[in-house]
Amino acid sequence: MAEPLPLERYGVLFVLSSPSGAGKSTIARMLMQSDPHISLSVSATTRKPRPNEKDGVDYHFVDDTEFDRMVAENLFLEWAHVFDHRYGTLKASVDTLLGQGKDVLFDIDWQGAQQLHQRAGSQVAQVFILPPSIDELRRRLKKRASDTEDVIAGRMARARAEISHWDGYDYVVVNDDVDRCFGDVSTILRAERMRRRRQTGLIEFARELMTD
Ligand code: 5GP
Protein backbone atom coordinates (compact mmCIF):
# COMPACT_ATOMS: atom_id res chain seq x y z
CA MET A 1 0.00 0.00 0.00
CA ALA A 2 2.99 2.33 0.42
CA GLU A 3 4.10 2.70 -3.20
CA PRO A 4 5.03 6.25 -4.27
CA LEU A 5 2.32 8.40 -5.76
CA PRO A 6 2.98 8.90 -9.46
CA LEU A 7 1.59 12.40 -9.98
CA GLU A 8 0.87 15.53 -8.04
CA ARG A 9 -2.59 15.62 -6.55
CA TYR A 10 -4.76 17.26 -3.94
CA GLY A 11 -4.96 15.41 -0.64
CA VAL A 12 -8.04 13.39 0.26
CA LEU A 13 -10.00 14.56 3.31
CA PHE A 14 -10.94 11.04 4.41
CA VAL A 15 -13.73 10.89 7.00
CA LEU A 16 -14.42 7.77 9.06
CA SER A 17 -17.56 7.81 11.22
CA SER A 18 -19.41 5.08 13.09
CA PRO A 19 -21.25 4.51 16.33
CA SER A 20 -18.86 3.64 19.14
CA GLY A 21 -18.39 -0.13 19.20
CA ALA A 22 -18.33 -0.58 15.41
CA GLY A 23 -14.53 -0.79 15.25
CA LYS A 24 -13.70 2.59 13.75
CA SER A 25 -10.64 3.27 15.93
CA THR A 26 -9.14 -0.11 15.01
CA ILE A 27 -9.63 0.55 11.31
CA ALA A 28 -8.20 4.08 11.66
CA ARG A 29 -5.14 2.68 13.45
CA MET A 30 -4.61 -0.01 10.81
CA LEU A 31 -4.79 2.63 8.05
CA MET A 32 -2.27 4.90 9.76
CA GLN A 33 0.13 2.01 10.37
CA SER A 34 -0.04 0.66 6.84
CA ASP A 35 0.04 3.88 4.87
CA PRO A 36 2.61 6.68 5.28
CA HIS A 37 0.66 9.05 3.00
CA ILE A 38 -2.22 9.58 5.43
CA SER A 39 -2.12 11.34 8.81
CA LEU A 40 -4.75 11.74 11.52
CA SER A 41 -6.28 15.14 12.18
CA VAL A 42 -5.98 15.70 15.95
CA SER A 43 -9.14 17.47 17.16
CA ALA A 44 -9.63 19.83 20.07
CA THR A 45 -12.14 18.77 22.73
CA THR A 46 -13.56 19.99 26.02
CA ARG A 47 -13.82 16.37 27.23
CA LYS A 48 -11.38 15.32 29.97
CA PRO A 49 -8.57 12.96 28.90
CA ARG A 50 -9.04 9.22 29.59
CA PRO A 51 -6.21 7.51 31.50
CA ASN A 52 -4.37 6.28 28.40
CA GLU A 53 -4.77 9.47 26.35
CA LYS A 54 -2.07 12.07 25.67
CA ASP A 55 -2.60 15.77 25.07
CA GLY A 56 -1.62 16.70 21.51
CA VAL A 57 -1.65 13.05 20.38
CA ASP A 58 -5.23 11.83 20.92
CA TYR A 59 -6.77 15.29 21.26
CA HIS A 60 -5.86 18.82 22.17
CA PHE A 61 -7.62 18.93 25.54
CA VAL A 62 -8.95 22.42 26.27
CA ASP A 63 -11.41 23.96 28.73
CA ASP A 64 -14.69 25.68 27.78
CA THR A 65 -13.17 29.18 27.81
CA GLU A 66 -10.37 28.12 25.48
CA PHE A 67 -12.83 26.38 23.15
CA ASP A 68 -15.00 29.54 23.08
CA ARG A 69 -11.92 31.58 22.15
CA MET A 70 -11.03 29.14 19.35
CA VAL A 71 -14.58 29.38 17.97
CA ALA A 72 -14.51 33.21 18.16
CA GLU A 73 -11.14 33.29 16.36
CA ASN A 74 -12.55 31.07 13.62
CA LEU A 75 -9.86 28.43 14.10
CA PHE A 76 -12.15 25.47 13.33
CA LEU A 77 -12.91 23.89 9.98
CA GLU A 78 -15.87 22.29 11.75
CA TRP A 79 -16.99 21.81 15.33
CA ALA A 80 -19.95 20.20 17.08
CA HIS A 81 -21.52 19.19 20.36
CA VAL A 82 -21.16 15.41 20.64
CA PHE A 83 -22.93 14.00 23.66
CA ASP A 84 -21.92 16.24 26.58
CA HIS A 85 -18.84 17.89 25.10
CA ARG A 86 -17.57 19.96 22.19
CA TYR A 87 -15.16 18.70 19.56
CA GLY A 88 -13.57 20.56 16.66
CA THR A 89 -11.19 20.13 13.74
CA LEU A 90 -8.41 22.74 13.58
CA LYS A 91 -7.99 24.43 10.20
CA ALA A 92 -4.28 24.98 10.79
CA SER A 93 -3.49 21.28 11.39
CA VAL A 94 -5.36 20.22 8.27
CA ASP A 95 -3.60 22.88 6.17
CA THR A 96 -0.22 21.78 7.50
CA LEU A 97 -0.84 18.13 6.59
CA LEU A 98 -2.19 18.99 3.13
CA GLY A 99 0.84 21.28 2.63
CA GLN A 100 3.09 18.27 3.35
CA GLY A 101 1.32 16.39 0.55
CA LYS A 102 -0.60 14.12 2.95
CA ASP A 103 -4.11 12.81 2.91
CA VAL A 104 -5.93 13.60 6.15
CA LEU A 105 -7.92 11.08 8.20
CA PHE A 106 -10.81 12.41 10.31
CA ASP A 107 -12.40 10.43 13.13
CA ILE A 108 -15.42 12.71 13.51
CA ASP A 109 -19.18 12.32 13.91
CA TRP A 110 -21.94 12.89 11.33
CA GLN A 111 -22.24 16.60 12.17
CA GLY A 112 -18.54 17.09 11.45
CA ALA A 113 -18.77 15.03 8.25
CA GLN A 114 -21.67 17.21 7.07
CA GLN A 115 -19.87 20.48 7.83
CA LEU A 116 -16.67 19.28 6.15
CA HIS A 117 -18.70 18.37 3.09
CA GLN A 118 -20.27 21.85 3.05
CA ARG A 119 -16.84 23.50 3.34
CA ALA A 120 -14.68 21.34 1.09
CA GLY A 121 -17.06 18.98 -0.72
CA SER A 122 -14.89 18.01 -3.68
CA GLN A 123 -11.94 17.09 -1.47
CA VAL A 124 -13.94 14.99 1.01
CA ALA A 125 -14.66 11.25 0.95
CA GLN A 126 -16.86 9.99 3.78
CA VAL A 127 -17.04 6.41 4.99
CA PHE A 128 -19.52 5.12 7.55
CA ILE A 129 -18.76 1.88 9.39
CA LEU A 130 -21.68 -0.22 10.62
CA PRO A 131 -21.58 -3.04 13.16
CA PRO A 132 -22.64 -6.47 11.80
CA SER A 133 -25.69 -6.72 14.08
CA ILE A 134 -27.36 -5.06 17.04
CA ASP A 135 -26.49 -8.04 19.28
CA GLU A 136 -22.83 -7.75 18.40
CA LEU A 137 -22.91 -4.00 19.05
CA ARG A 138 -24.52 -4.59 22.47
CA ARG A 139 -21.85 -7.18 23.24
CA ARG A 140 -19.08 -4.70 22.33
CA LEU A 141 -20.67 -1.88 24.33
CA LYS A 142 -20.98 -4.06 27.46
CA LYS A 143 -17.35 -3.39 28.27
CA ARG A 144 -17.33 -4.06 31.95
CA ALA A 145 -19.38 -6.55 33.93
CA SER A 146 -20.02 -3.75 36.45
CA ASP A 147 -21.86 -1.59 33.90
CA THR A 148 -25.48 -1.19 34.88
CA GLU A 149 -28.35 -1.84 32.46
CA ASP A 150 -28.94 1.95 32.39
CA VAL A 151 -25.37 2.69 31.31
CA ILE A 152 -25.56 0.07 28.57
CA ALA A 153 -28.98 1.31 27.43
CA GLY A 154 -27.54 4.86 27.23
CA ARG A 155 -24.65 3.68 25.02
CA MET A 156 -27.07 1.75 22.80
CA ALA A 157 -29.31 4.81 22.40
CA ARG A 158 -26.31 6.95 21.36
CA ALA A 159 -25.18 4.27 18.92
CA ARG A 160 -28.65 4.07 17.35
CA ALA A 161 -28.77 7.87 17.03
CA GLU A 162 -25.40 7.87 15.22
CA ILE A 163 -26.44 4.96 12.95
CA SER A 164 -29.51 6.92 11.79
CA HIS A 165 -27.17 9.19 9.80
CA TRP A 166 -25.71 6.42 7.64
CA ASP A 167 -27.41 7.71 4.49
CA GLY A 168 -25.44 10.98 4.47
CA TYR A 169 -22.20 9.15 3.62
CA ASP A 170 -20.52 8.33 0.29
CA TYR A 171 -19.60 4.79 1.37
CA VAL A 172 -20.96 2.37 3.98
CA VAL A 173 -18.94 -0.65 5.13
CA VAL A 174 -20.21 -3.36 7.47
CA ASN A 175 -17.52 -4.45 9.91
CA ASP A 176 -18.21 -8.18 10.27
CA ASP A 177 -14.55 -9.05 9.84
CA VAL A 178 -11.90 -6.48 10.77
CA ASP A 179 -9.40 -7.49 8.03
CA ARG A 180 -12.06 -7.42 5.33
CA CYS A 181 -13.39 -4.08 6.58
CA PHE A 182 -9.86 -2.65 6.59
CA GLY A 183 -9.34 -3.99 3.04
CA ASP A 184 -12.55 -2.29 1.88
CA VAL A 185 -11.68 1.02 3.52
CA SER A 186 -8.17 0.91 1.98
CA THR A 187 -9.67 0.23 -1.44
CA ILE A 188 -11.96 3.25 -1.09
CA LEU A 189 -8.98 5.44 -0.17
CA ARG A 190 -6.95 4.19 -3.15
CA ALA A 191 -9.82 4.83 -5.55
CA GLU A 192 -10.44 8.31 -4.11
CA ARG A 193 -6.77 9.17 -4.68
CA MET A 194 -7.19 8.38 -8.36
CA ARG A 195 -10.17 10.67 -8.98
CA ARG A 196 -9.34 12.79 -11.98
CA ARG A 197 -10.20 16.06 -10.27
CA ARG A 198 -7.60 15.44 -7.56
CA GLN A 199 -4.77 14.69 -9.95
CA THR A 200 -3.38 18.14 -10.58
CA GLY A 201 -0.35 16.74 -12.40
CA LEU A 202 -2.48 15.16 -15.13
CA ILE A 203 -2.74 18.16 -17.46
CA GLU A 204 1.01 18.35 -18.06
CA PHE A 205 1.34 14.58 -18.14
CA ALA A 206 -1.43 14.13 -20.70
CA ARG A 207 -0.10 17.07 -22.76
CA GLU A 208 3.26 15.34 -23.04
CA LEU A 209 1.61 12.07 -24.01
CA MET A 210 -0.28 13.88 -26.76
CA THR A 211 2.80 15.67 -28.12
CA ASP A 212 4.64 14.17 -31.07
P1 5GP B 1 -14.63 10.23 22.09
O2 5GP B 1 -15.00 11.20 23.17
O3 5GP B 1 -15.12 8.83 22.35
O4 5GP B 1 -13.16 10.29 21.75
O5 5GP B 1 -15.39 10.72 20.76
C6 5GP B 1 -16.78 10.88 20.76
C7 5GP B 1 -17.24 11.19 19.35
O8 5GP B 1 -16.78 12.48 18.93
C9 5GP B 1 -16.77 10.21 18.28
O10 5GP B 1 -17.89 9.84 17.49
C11 5GP B 1 -15.80 11.00 17.45
O12 5GP B 1 -15.80 10.57 16.11
C13 5GP B 1 -16.36 12.40 17.58
N14 5GP B 1 -15.33 13.43 17.31
C15 5GP B 1 -14.03 13.42 17.69
N16 5GP B 1 -13.41 14.54 17.26
C17 5GP B 1 -14.33 15.27 16.57
C18 5GP B 1 -14.27 16.52 15.89
O19 5GP B 1 -13.25 17.19 15.79
N20 5GP B 1 -15.44 16.94 15.31
C21 5GP B 1 -16.59 16.23 15.39
N22 5GP B 1 -17.66 16.74 14.77
N23 5GP B 1 -16.67 15.05 16.03
C24 5GP B 1 -15.56 14.57 16.63
SS3 36: coil
Give me the percent of the chain exceeding a pLDDT of 90: 84
Residue at 118: amino acid letter: Q
Distance from C-alpha of 83 to C-alpha of 110, rounded to nearest angstrom: 12
164, part of any domain: yes
110, part of any domain: yes
2, part of any domain: no
6, part of any domain: no
Q: Check pocket membership of 104 for ligand 1, CB cut-off 6 A.
A: no
Tell the residue nearest (CA) to atom 3 of ligand 1. Answer: 20
pLDDT in tens, 144-169: 677 888 988 998 999 999 999 999 99
Tell the residue nearest (CA) to atom 23 of ligand 1. Answer: 108
DSSP label at residue 43: P
1, part of any domain: no
pLDDT in tens, 171-198: 999 999 999 999 999 999 999 999 999 9
103, part of any domain: yes
Domain boundaries, position 24: 13-210
181, part of any domain: yes
pLDDT in tens, 195-210: 999 999 999 999 999 9
The CATH code of the domain that includes 128 is 3.40.50.300
176, part of any domain: yes
Substitution candidate for ligand 1 out of 43, 57, 110, 165 with most atoms within 8 A of CB = 43
Contact criterion met (CB below 8 Å) for 32 and 65: no
Q: What's the total number of domains in the chain?
A: 1
pLDDT of residue 3: 54
- Over residues 98-120, the mean pLDDT reads 96
Q: Check pocket membership of 107 for ligand 1, CB cut-off 6 A.
A: yes
Q: Angle of helix 24-34 relative to helix 178-193, nearest 10 degrees?
A: 60
pLDDT band at 11 (very low <50, low <70, confident <90, very high): very high
